[in-house]
Amino acid sequence: MSSDHVRNTEAMQSSPRCGARTRDDTLCRAPAMHGKARCRMHGGARRSGAPRGNQNARRHGMFTKDGIAERRQIEVLLDEAWKLLSELK
């Protein structure tokens, strides 16, 4: 039994592509979701991405101005303590 049926893939081939970058630094070739710029695997699907109010996405504050200033004050205090200890010896 031969298959003479030709598939009509014109609509699929002409649909907009996702365009996200893959690990190989090439463009994703999957079709974008309807009304979206990305495919289902790159954020076009409903409810994809981080949940709202994600507690894991909070900043730790280590590189804020206050955090840097506090560490510098601690360094100065430790330097003075080491100098005092070396003078006492």
Q: Which residue has the higher pLDDT, 58 or 9?
A: 9
Amino acid found at 49: G
Q: How many domains does the chain have?
A: 2
pLDDT at position 1 is 55
Domain containing 76: what range?
Answer: 61-89
Report which of 27, 28, 30 is spatially closest to residue 13, judged by C-alpha positions.
30
Rounded to two decimals, the pTM is 0.44
- Give tens-digit pLDDT for 10-61: 877 888 999 899 889 999 998 998 888 898 888 888 877 667 777 776 678 8
pLDDT at position 19 is 86
Q: Is residue 5, in this structure, part of any structural domain at all? A: no
pLDDT at position 50 is 66
Contact 34, 16 (CB under 8 A): no
d(Cα 63, Cα 25) in Å, to the nearest integer? 30
Q: Is residue 54, in this structure, part of any structural domain at all? A: no
